[in-house]
Amino acid sequence: MSEEEKFAKKTESEVTIWRLAGRTAPFVAMAGFICCAFLAKEWLTIYAVLVITCWVTVSVAWWWWALHKILRLIGLMLSTKVKFDEVKTELRSIKNDMGNRKRRESNKD
């Protein structure tokens, strides 16, 4: 498995985790607020501070993860461009070595 394929697989699994966390965490936090509001009002402020702290921490972690992935994608795109330019140069070299022949016209009847 090439490095690009490993990167794609790893990114796909990480995105799945982030998607799951993004869909479930707000509902879990809201359920906790509702439970605190009805069952433990004295814990509501502590719970709110805890939720806000977790929210900010996860947001910062996600931001740095996204920046790292974008930087890695740019690196992969640039290396692909370099390889593509090398292939173009080689094809031109082969074309010049073989002579600049024209293609035959197809006989479509």
* Phi, psi for 108 (deg, rounded to 5): -95, 120
* CB 60 within 8 Å of CB 38: no
Domain extent listing, the chain:
3-97
35-91: pLDDT as tens digits: 999 998 999 999 999 999 999 999 999 999 999 999 999 988 888 888 888 888 888
Task: Report the C-alpha gap between 100 and 105 in whole angstroms.
Answer: 16
DSSP characters for 51-107? HHHHHHHHHHHHHHHHHHHHHHHHHHHHHHHHHHHHHHHHHHHHHHHH--PPPPPP-
> For residues 100 and 72, which has the higher predicted lDDT (pLDDT)?
72
pTM: 0.67
